[in-house]
């Protein structure tokens, strides 16, 4: 059985918090500051983790939860040296690659497969699972007006905003006017299917309960785990009498983190040491 | 094996030949020439198709007569102009019913008539300019209501004075052959889809014109010094550089730089706010190289078909810009950053006396160019198409990624 190690960038990250509570090593990115220094091109950034850090990651199941550097000291350090955040992920890669398994690709938003925008999520999920239902959408180019004639009850969204489906709160002025993204307003009951590992663990009902087909959830989970390189995530589904429609995947687990059942499952998952994805580093 | 034998073996219909250009291999010149010839032949065949279409009647007969009456060099100028390509694609789109959704038969007919009229005008204009160059003013010019008429490739303009006398003026040229267009109708046009031409269009002062012209000439000269074969590439594939000023230098908006190439207008590139003195020569070098790379790829695609079918609904997140972009733009981006990285790296090596600011800028841009390649996922795996893509295309972009990973020792400790 392998050990698990978690690396994260948010002190309130639900997986990191459970790791700390259960004694599983959880490294915050700011702990890397003493072993990181800006360098002239072509090296750009150097990470010299040292024997202790290397031994933590060597042969472990690595859970990468560095989704954004926002608000970290590392972010400020990189800015001071004029180093793009992408180089942090580039230099993190060999450390994470010491593990036997890696859950979540390294990379910034849109680069890591677990941080894809909505249209990419829908495309990739359907590529893996052609029978999956995803929302209708229109995506205009530049400042062109979108063609909404085929979109039933359209609403404008940010392509990056995963869970705002009643009212979009993340649309900035630029995205409101340029490359407009419109979707069909969802129908049915929203449910969150969450998973740790390759099979789905449970359902969370943020508004009302609904009958959800276990087999469909299982298929969606396996497809999502594969295409988003994740074994710890949540999916927003809308359920009607006729269909289950996949709306979004997120590795953050924010919707379900407060649920005691989820925390218990997280503890067991982290301690069992079988965390990690199929994309062995 | 000598270079001639290698060149003969390079099949310019196979996209893998594009790597010969990116890597400036010894058979690059023959590949460049091969692509240009195949593009010329393809455009000629497309014109012949239009001219042979009986339903266009008198218009195409007139076009045919004018076209036959101009010399082969003038015919080539028409066929290789971005205006001709753009209007041909409009006509083709309308003929095949691919105009914007909801367009009915009548709208398609109108679109065809407009495009056919534009094609006729392009050929007639080139002929009139050829006549004017010989000191003759033909009926097309005599009856023209405009005061200025630009050649389809954009290198010269016929101008009428108050007495109705027409004269021909050459536009300033970069690298002896690329027209610098600061004011033509296409340069002033508003295009909602364009990142550059959707911006306000302000007139450049004389000093700003001088500044733009000098800076772009210096940029091209620096490309020639750093990687002469890229200079050759630019001169072969770029005919016209249009420059837009969207803000006064004193405004914060003047720092909004940009450049673009539009696939339906091969041979043209557009630059935004190059007049701002804060924009370095090195930044202009990269913009010219960036857009010229799009141009040579677009020229190959026009002759041989697109790398991948474009579906604007599905866009790949560029690992360079972080923006969602169409599949074909993404494939272009891989080439663009590979080529720009090679150019800037050579520039750094060849310019030991480069000033500190320029050196820092180049190093920062090299890090940006490299970063998009240094990701876990194969670059070909990010393409969003359910159709099979040309295997060589996937192989090429992964090959460029592998080369960049090798150069930067990706995945290794950097100690």
Token pair recorded at residue B269: 């590139």
Q: Residue B255: its pLDDT value, please?
A: 80
**Residue of B272, B371, B386, B415 to mutate for A, most A C-beta atoms under 10 A:** B371
Task: Give the minimum alpha-carbon distance from B339 to chain A in angstroms, rounded to a whole number.
Answer: 17
Q: With an 8 Å Cβ cutoff, are B192 and A84 in contact?
A: no
Q: With an 8 Å Cβ cutoff, are B324 and A117 in contact?
A: yes
A105 contact residues in B (CB cutoff 8 A): 375-377
Q: Residue B1: its pLDDT value, please?
A: 37
**Residue of B190, B194, B324 to mutate for A, most A C-beta atoms under 10 A:** B324
Token pair recorded at residue B146: 């405009």
Pinpoint the alpha helices (H) of B98-154: 105-133, 139-142
B312 contact residues in A (CB cutoff 8 A): 139, 141
Cα gap A196→A15, rounded to integer Å: 11
pLDDT tens digits, residue range B289-335? Answer: 999 999 999 999 989 988 987 788 889 999 999 999 999 999 999 99
Q: What are B's interface residues with A at a Cβ cutoff of 8 A? A: 100-102, 192-195, 198, 312-317, 319, 322, 324, 363-364, 366-368, 370-372, 374-377, 384, 386, 407-408, 410-415
Cα gap B70→B124, rounded to integer Å: 10
Cα gap A147→A119, rounded to integer Å: 16
Q: Residue B414: its pLDDT value, please?
A: 62
CB atoms within 10 A of CB B138: 15
**Angstrom distances, CA of residue A236 to CA of A175, A181, B59, B285:** 23, 19, 58, 46
B315 contact residues in A (CB cutoff 8 A): 119-120, 139
pLDDT tens digits, residue range A3-51? Answer: 999 999 999 999 999 999 999 999 999 999 999 999 999 999 999 999 9
Given a contact cutoff of 8 angstroms between Cβ atoms, the answer to whether B396 and B18 are in contact is yes
pLDDT tens digits, residue range A127-160? Answer: 999 999 999 999 998 888 899 999 999 999 999 9
Checking if the pLDDT of A279 tops 50, the result is no
Q: Write the secondary structure of B25-46 as one string of H (helix), E (strand) and C (coil).
A: CCCHHHHHHHHHHHHHHHHHHH
B202: left (phi over 0), alpha (psi -120 to 50) or beta: beta
Q: Domain ranges for chain B, please list them.
A: 172-280, 306-409
pLDDT tens digits, residue range A162-171? Answer: 999 989 999 9
Checking if the pLDDT of A181 tops 60, the result is yes
Task: Kindly write down the DSSP assignment for every residue of A25-86, as one continuous string.
Answer: -EEEGGGGGGGEEE--TTT-EEE--HHHHHHHHTTPEEEEE----TTSHHHHHHHHTT--HH
Tracing tokens 């046009």 back to the chain, one arrives at B189
For A113, nearest residue in chain B (alpha carbons): B377
pLDDT tens digits, residue range A236-248? Answer: 999 999 999 999 9
A82 contact residues in B (CB cutoff 8 A): 364
Tracing tokens 């306000």 back to the chain, one arrives at B200
> Could you give the ipTM of this predicted complex?
0.92
Task: Give the minimum alpha-carbon distance from B316 to chain A in angstroms, rounded to a whole number.
Answer: 7
Task: Give the minimum alpha-carbon distance from A235 to chain B in angstroms, rounded to a whole number.
Answer: 21
CB atoms within 10 A of CB B196: 23
User: Which position has the higher pLDDT, B122 or A81?
Assistant: B122
**Angstrom distances, CA of residue B369 to CA of B53, B110, B265, B319, B380:** 47, 45, 25, 10, 17
Cα gap A261→A33, rounded to integer Å: 35
Q: How confident is the model at residue A2 (pLDDT cuts 50, 70, 90)?
A: confident
Torsion angle of alpha carbons B334, B414, A7, A201, nearest 10°?
50
pLDDT tens digits, residue range B161-194? Answer: 999 999 999 999 999 999 999 999 989 999 887 8
Q: With an 8 Å Cβ cutoff, are B101 and A147 in contact?
A: yes
For A40, nearest residue in chain B (alpha carbons): B363
Instruction: Note down pLDDT in tens along chain B; length 415 residues.
Output: 344 445 456 799 999 999 999 999 999 999 999 999 999 999 999 999 999 988 888 999 999 999 999 999 999 999 999 999 999 999 998 888 754 555 678 888 899 999 999 999 999 999 999 999 999 999 999 999 999 999 999 999 999 999 999 999 999 999 999 999 999 998 999 988 788 999 999 999 999 999 999 999 999 999 999 999 999 999 999 999 999 999 999 888 878 899 999 888 999 999 999 999 999 999 999 999 999 999 999 999 989 988 987 788 889 999 999 999 999 999 999 999 999 999 999 999 999 999 999 999 999 999 999 999 999 999 999 999 877 677 789 999 999 999 999 999 998 876 6
Reported pTM: 0.91
Q: How confident is the model at residue A208 (pLDDT cuts 50, 70, 90)?
A: confident
Checking if the pLDDT of A65 tops 50, the result is yes
**Residue of B313, B347, B372, B384 to mutate for A, most A C-beta atoms under 10 A:** B313
């Amino acid at each position: 059985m392998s050990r698990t190690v978690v690396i994260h960038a948010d002190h309130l990250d639900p997986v990191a918090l459970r790791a700390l509570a259960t004694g599983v090593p959880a490294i915050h990115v700011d702990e890397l500051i003493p072993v990181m220094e800006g360098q002239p091109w072509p090296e750009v950034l150097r990470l010299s983790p040292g024997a202790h850090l290397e031994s933590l990651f060597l042969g472990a199941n690595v859970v990468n939860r560095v989704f954004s550097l926002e608000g970290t000291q590392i972010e400020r350090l990189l800015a001071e040296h004029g180093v793009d955040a992408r180089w942090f992920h580039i230099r993190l890669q060999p450390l994470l690659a010491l593990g036997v398994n890696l859950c979540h690709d390294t990379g910034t938003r849109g680069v890591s497969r677990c941080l894809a925008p909505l249209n990419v999520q829908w495309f990739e999920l359907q590529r893996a699972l052609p029978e999956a239902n995803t929302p209708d959408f229109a995506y205009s180019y530049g400042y062109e007006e979108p063609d909404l004639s085929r979109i039933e009850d359209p609403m404008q969204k940010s392509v990056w905003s995963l869970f705002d489906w009643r009212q979009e709160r993340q649309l900035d002025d630029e995205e409101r006017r340029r490359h407009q993204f419109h979707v069909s307003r969802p129908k049915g009951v929203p449910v969150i299917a969450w998973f740790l590992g390759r099979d789905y663990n449970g359902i969370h009902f943020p508004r009302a309960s609904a009958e959800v087909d276990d087999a469909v959830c299982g298929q969606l989970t396996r497809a999502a785990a594969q295409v988003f390189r994740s074994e710890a995530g949540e999916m927003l589904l809308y359920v009607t009498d006729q269909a289950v429609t996949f709306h979004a995947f997120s590795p953050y687990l924010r919707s379900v983190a407060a649920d005691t059942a989820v925390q218990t499952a997280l503890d067991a998952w982290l301690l069992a040491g079988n965390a990690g994805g199929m994309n062995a580093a | 094996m000598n270079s001639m034998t290698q060149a003969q073996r390079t099949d310019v219909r196979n996209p893998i030949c594009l790597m010969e250009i990116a890597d400036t291999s010894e058979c690059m010149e023959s590949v460049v020439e091969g692509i240009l010839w195949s593009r010329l032949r393809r455009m000629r065949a497309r014109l012949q198709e239009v001219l042979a279409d009986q339903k266009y009647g008198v218009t195409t007969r007139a076009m045919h007569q004018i076209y036959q009456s101009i010399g082969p060099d003038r015919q080539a100028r028409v066929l290789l102009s971005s205006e001709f390509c753009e209007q041909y694609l409009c006509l083709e789109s309308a003929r095949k019913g691919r105009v914007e959704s909801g367009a009915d038969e009548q709208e398609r007919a109108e679109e065809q008539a407009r495009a056919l009229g534009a094609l006729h005008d392009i050929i007639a204009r080139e002929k009139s300019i050829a006549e004017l160059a010989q000191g003759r003013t033909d009926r097309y010019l005599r009856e023209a209501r405009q005061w200025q008429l630009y050649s389809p490739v954009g290198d010269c303009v016929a101008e009428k004075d108050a007495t109705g006398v027409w004269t021909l003026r050459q536009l300033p040229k970069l690298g002896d052959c690329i027209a610098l267009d600061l004011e033509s109708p296409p340069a002033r046009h508003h295009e909602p889809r364009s990142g550059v031409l959707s911006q306000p269009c302000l007139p450049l002062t004389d000093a700003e014109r001088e500044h733009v012209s000098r800076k772009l000439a210096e940029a091209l000269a620096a490309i020639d010094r750093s990687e002469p074969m890229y200079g050759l590439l630019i001169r072969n594939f770029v005919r016209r550089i249009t420059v837009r000023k969207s803000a006064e230098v004193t405004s914060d908006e003047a720092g909004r730089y940009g450049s673009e190439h539009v696939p339906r207008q091969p041979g043209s590139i557009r630059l935004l706010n190059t007049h701002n003195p804060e924009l370095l020569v090195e930044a202009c070098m990269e913009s010219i190289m960036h857009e010229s790379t799009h141009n040579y790829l677009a020229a190959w695609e026009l002759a041989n078909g697109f790398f991948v079918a474009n579906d604007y609904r599905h866009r790949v997140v560029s690992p360079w810009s972080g923006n969602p972009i169409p599949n074909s733009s993404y494939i272009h981006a891989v080439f663009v950053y590979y080529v720009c990285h090679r150019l800037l790296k050579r520039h750094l090596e060849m310019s030991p006396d480069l000033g500190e600011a320029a050196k820092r800028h180049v190093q920062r841009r090299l890090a940006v160019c490299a970063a998009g390649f240094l990701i876990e996922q194969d670059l070909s795996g990010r393409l969003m198409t359910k159709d099979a893509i040309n295997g060589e295309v996937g192989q090429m972009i992964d090959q460029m990624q592998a080369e960049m990973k090798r150069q930067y020792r990706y995945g290794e400790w950097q100690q």
